[in-house]
Amino acid sequence: MKIDVIPYASAIRPDLIKNRNVVVIDVLRASSVMVTALANGANAFIPVSTVDEARQKAVIFQDKEILLCGERDTKTIDGFHLGNSPQTYKRGKVEGKTLIFTTSNGTQALNQLKEAAKVFIGSFLNMKALVHRFLELEDVVLVCSGTNNNFSMDDAMCAALFIDKIMKKKTVLLSDLSITLLKAFQKDNGNLPLLLKDCYHLNLLKRNGFGEDVDYCLQKNISNIVPEMKNGRIVKAN
Amino acid sequence: MKIDVIPYASAIRPDLIKNRNVVVIDVLRASSVMVTALANGANAFIPVSTVDEARQKAVIFQDKEILLCGERDTKTIDGFHLGNSPQTYKRGKVEGKTLIFTTSNGTQALNQLKEAAKVFIGSFLNMKALVHRFLELEDVVLVCSGTNNNFSMDDAMCAALFIDKIMKKKTVLLSDLSITLLKAFQKDNGNLPLLLKDCYHLNLLKRNGFGEDVDYCLQKNISNIVPEMKNGRIVKAN
């Protein structure tokens, strides 16, 4: 199995993802929100790039079953129903709803993947289920969303965990970046708090009062949900 | 000291390098060629992006003291005096000469750095001298040239060695990518043959008959030359 990694969203190029099976990783927090909300009964996410686009889409739908969700600068957007804290996506709020979703990094990546074969969402929360899904697929491009068009170590170490797990199940061909991330991950034996203690985005979230979100998002394998993008919507994979 | 890393040449953006002190790293082999040739008495390199541009510049100079140098697809370009094998840049060939130089990756990076404060050339060969030069500078952006617009682990591990060495001399503030490369480097205790054994570009060079070049380029601290870009030319730093 061929494994490539794209280091951050703005490094996506059409030739890197065309007809490839892609996993989009935005650990803090878009991926974790999607896994959590779909597990709690949300129908689908509609990822959009801008706040204006989100508001326009909500008007078009004119539907009580729509929620406006997302963040800018880590914080809930004015007038939106939900921000980017996964634990606020509770069953009572999201069950049966379609969520129009815009974030600074994760949804930017998603909207550049129209030529991919399949697009899944990866996080620590659903890693085991994600790896299981790739047992029958022959290639993967792991897209680390990053932060503000830069490399973010939380996403990279999630990609590394995927590589670490899948290579115990099947033969892999690793790109240079895949090898590098895996070695970094192994250096601290996959100990996430140790690996990520000086990570920029993680510490920004903590400073902004989202320490509980960070702790939540770094849990491994608490969900069997694998979100998949189909026709521009993120839904539970079959 | 603030340390940032750019993972490959096409990821250079003006905002990332403007007024910053930059080190361009193309271990295999442009950086190693420049260090070696300047140590052997070459006057200067003039880096250009295309083969045509190199030939045009040679015509303009119309000078016996000019050599055309560089590679495409790892091999010497038709009609050029020298390829990209550092050990062919012997004193007898390069002393007193100005070298018009075009390579697939390293010279592409150099021509995007016009807004940087200072631009140095880094390799394993001159690492100690390079680190010494940064003792008095307060920031650095390490530009890994990469291979064909992708991340290349040889350049990344050279960046990691710089970080490993400089942080023993002064206090550093590391970006997420800097931390990641350093951890990968430390995983194998800086053992380059072990770290790089599955590296794409290194193995391509070996397959193309350049195994001796690889062995040469992975030697640490055999030269005190720090090449610096001044007015579009690469010369020995004062």
Has residue A237 got a pLDDT over 80?
A: yes
- Taking the CA of residue A100 as centre, how many other CA atoms within 13 Å lie in the half-sphere pointing to its CB? 25
Residues 6+ apart with CB under 8 A from B72: B51, B104
Residues of A in contact with B7 (CB under 8 A): 7, 11, 151, 177
- CA distance from start to end of chain B: 22
Neighbours of A191 (CB within 10 A): 12
Q: Determine the distance in angstroms separating the CA of B103 from the nearest CA of chain A, rounded to an integer.
A: 20
Per-residue confidence band for B61, with pLDDT thresholds at 50, 70 and 90? confident
Find the CB nearest B183 among A147, A179, A184.
A184
Report the mean per-residue pLDDT for chain B. 95
Give the per-residue pLDDT at A97: 96
Q: What is the pLDDT of residues A34-86, one digit of tens each?
A: 999 999 999 999 999 999 999 998 888 766 699 999 999 889 999 999 999 99
Q: Strand runs (DSSP E) across B93-181, as ranges?
A: 98-102, 118-122, 139-144, 173-174
From residue A209, give the alpha-carbon distance in Å to each of A30, A101, A163, A201, B192.
Answer: 17, 21, 31, 13, 42
Has residue B104 got a pLDDT over 90?
A: no
Regarding an ipTM greater than 0.90, the answer is yes
Q: Determine the distance in angstroms separating the CA of B201 from the nearest CA of chain A, rounded to an integer.
A: 9
Which residues, numbered 84 to 103 in chain B, qualify as contacts with chain A under a Cβ-Cβ cut-off of 8 Å?
none
How far, in Å, CA of B115 to CA of B101, rounded?
A: 21
Residues of B in contact with A14 (CB under 8 A): none
Please tell me if residue B148 touches chain A, with a CB cutoff of 8 Å.
no
Give the per-residue pLDDT at A63: 65
Give the per-residue pLDDT at B26: 96
Strand order in the sheet with A75-76: A75-76, A66-72, A98-102, A44-47, A233-236, A227-230, A118-122, A21-25, A139-144, A2-6, A173-174
Taking each helix axis as running N to C, give the angle between helix B153-166 and helix B176-187, from 0 to 180 degrees, rounded to the nearest 10: 100
User: Which amino acid, one-letter code, is at B76?
Assistant: T
The position carrying tokens 């503000």 is: A148
Q: What is the pLDDT of residues A102-157, one digit of tens each?
A: 998 878 788 889 999 999 999 999 999 999 999 999 999 999 999 988 999 999 99
The position carrying tokens 């880096």 is: B47
The torsion defined by the Cα of B110, B111, B114 and B117, in degrees rounded to 10, comes to 0
Enter the tokens of residue B20.
């910053």
How far, in Å, CA of B15 to CA of B2, rounded?
A: 15
What is the model's pTM? Answer: 0.96
A interface test, pick of B158, B178, B180 with most A CB neighbours within 10 Å: B180
DSSP A105-167: SHHHHHTT-TT-SEEEEE-STTHHHHHHHGGG-SEEEEEE--BTTB--HHHHHHHHHHHHHHT
Q: Strand runs (DSSP E) across A39-126, as ranges?
A: 44-47, 66-72, 75-76, 98-102, 118-122
* 8 Å CB contact between A37 and A97: no
